[in-house]
């Protein structure tokens, strides 16, 4: 390989090409024309003396064995190089212009983001948030390619290859419409099991969850009448019906005044909420600053 022909922009384009395996999509991500990226791919093939990407596969092209061997070391190299430059420059939130991409459920976005936005307006006015909700199965690849900066999720849902930090421990509460007869006094197990329930199923269409597992261990069961894909639907549906829903407490706190909030009649297991990031981004001063802001926001929320 002739190192005099090595161009850092070519390596950045190779990283995106190997992630997308499609020249058109890679060009869109790189903000270049398709002919320009095709020309770069031709240069890369000559540089590595390998086709790198060949026609075929559902995404458009398939990586050669040489390309597959290059992909992870190349990502590591580019991340280390960017971290080196960023560390030298530091991070000045007041002058920074940056977009952070955060993956979380709608429940977590509604809990974390309002306080974080207030901080950004005051401390990093040139920065933006891109709030995303990709499938859980896609998170390992999206964090590896840098398309997701931070993941906020429960411990069981967090990709194992990410570095993590606990935000808080979550518990469950029950929500009903404000004038529901059952909202006048603490719930007992018999009444709870006799009611019609609403369940949030992020994967869509599910009618069995952690509450059902808890009840089954007690030899009891409930009737789930409605399954919805988003927590955002819960308060309006509960407020307009006799349904009861068991939801994360921090989520329910954002609905104060819209629904009645009661303790469940049985102990539903608590879980840990975490934020995670790819190890390559550990030293990124901008992301390190963002993580600290989120920790401080959540500390204030829990105080």
Q: Reduce the secondary structure of the chain to three states and give it as a string.
A: CCHHHCCHHHHHHHHHHHHHCCHHHHHHHHCCCHHHHHHHHHHHHHHHCCCCEEECCCCCEEECHHHHHHHHHHHHHHHHHHHHHHHHHCCCCCCCCCEEEEEECHHHHHHHHHHHHHHHHHHCCCCEEEEECCCHHHHHHHHHCCCCCEEEEEHHHCCCCCEEEEEEEECEEEEECCCCHHHHCCCCHHHHHHCEEEEECCCCCCCCCHHHHHHHHCCCCCEEEEEECCHHHHHHHHHCCCCEEEEEHHHHHCCECCEEEECCCCCCCCEEEEEEECHHHCCCHHHHHHHHHHHHHHHHHHC
* Per-residue model confidence (pLDDT) at position 303: 65
- pLDDT tens digits, one per residue of 253-279: 999 999 999 999 999 999 999 999 999
Q: How confident is the model at residue 107 (pLDDT cuts 50, 70, 90)?
A: confident
Q: Which of 52, 33, 32, 55 is nearest to 42 (CA)?
A: 52
**171 with 270: CB under 8 angstroms?**
yes
Using DSSP bridges, classify how beta strands 260-262 and 172-176 pair: parallel, antiparallel or unpaired.
antiparallel
Asked if 213 contacts 220 with a C-beta cutoff of 8 angstroms, the reply is no
Rounded-to-integer distance, Cα 10 and Cα 271, Å:
44
Most confident of the ranges 8-17, 122-131, 143-152 = 122-131
Cα–Cα distance, 120 to 116 (Å, whole number): 6
pLDDT of residue 32 exceeding 70, the answer is yes
pLDDT of the residue at 87? 60
Mean pLDDT of 62-86: 84
Average pLDDT of the segment spanning 40-62? 88
Instruction: Quickly state the pLDDT bin for 163 (edges 50, 70, 90).
Output: very high
Instruction: Please tell me the distance from the alpha carbon of residue 69 to that of residue 53, in angstroms, as a whole number.
Output: 13
Angle at 289 between CA 153 and CA 294, to 5 degrees: 35
Assign 59 a pLDDT band (cuts: 50, 70, 90): confident
Q: Can you give the length of the chain in residues?
A: 303
pLDDT at residue number 196: 98
Q: pLDDT value at position 177?
A: 97
- Arithmetic mean of pLDDT over the chain: 90
pLDDT at 1: 53
Q: In the chain, pLDDT over 70 holds for what percent of residues? A: 94
User: Which pLDDT score is estimated for 282?
Assistant: 87
139: pLDDT strictly greater than 70: yes
Query: Quick one: pLDDT at residue 280?
Result: 84
Q: pTM of this prediction? A: 0.75
Give yes or no for a contact between 158 and 232, defined as CB atoms under 8 angstroms apart. no
- Is the pLDDT at 206 greater than 80? The verdict is yes
Q: How confident is the model at residue 3 (pLDDT cuts 50, 70, 90)?
A: low
């Amino acid at each position: 390989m002739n190192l005099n022909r090595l161009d850092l922009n070519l390596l950045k384009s190779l990283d995106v090409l190997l992630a997308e395996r499609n020249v058109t999509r890679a060009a869109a991500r790189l903000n270049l024309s398709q002919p320009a990226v095709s020309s770069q791919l031709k240069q890369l093939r000559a540089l590595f003396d390998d086709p790198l990407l060949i026609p075929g596969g559902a995404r458009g092209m398939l990586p050669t064995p040489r390309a597959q061997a290059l992909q992870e070391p190349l990502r590591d190299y580019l991340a280390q190089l960017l971290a080196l430059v960023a560390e030298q420059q530091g991070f000045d939130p007041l002058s920074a212009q940056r977009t952070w991409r955060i993956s979380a459920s709608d429940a977590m976005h509604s809990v974390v983001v309002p306080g974080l936005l207030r901080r950004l307006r005051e401390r990093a006015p040139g920065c933006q948030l891109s709030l995303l909700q990709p499938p859980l199965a896609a998170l390992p690849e999206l964090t590896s390619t840098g398309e997701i900066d931070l993941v906020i999720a429960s411990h069981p849902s967090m990709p194992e290859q990410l570095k993590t930090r606990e935000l808080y421990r979550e518990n469950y509460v029950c929500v009903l419409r404000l004038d529901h007869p059952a909202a006048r006094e603490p719930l007992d197990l018999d009444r709870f099991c006799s009611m019609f329930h609403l369940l949030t199923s992020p994967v869509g269409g599910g009618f069995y969850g952690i509450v059902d597992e808890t009840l089954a261990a007690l030899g009891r069961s409930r009737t789930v009448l409605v399954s919805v894909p988003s927590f955002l639907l819960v308060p309006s549906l509960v407020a307009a019906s006799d349904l009861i829903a068991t939801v994360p407490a921090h989520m329910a706190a954002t609905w104060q005044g819209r629904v009645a909030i009661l303790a469940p009649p049985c102990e539903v297991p608590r879980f840990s909420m975490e934020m995670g990031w790819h190890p390559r981004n550990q030293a990124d001063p901008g992301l390190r600053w963002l993580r600290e802001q989120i920790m401080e926001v959540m500390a204030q929320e829990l105080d």
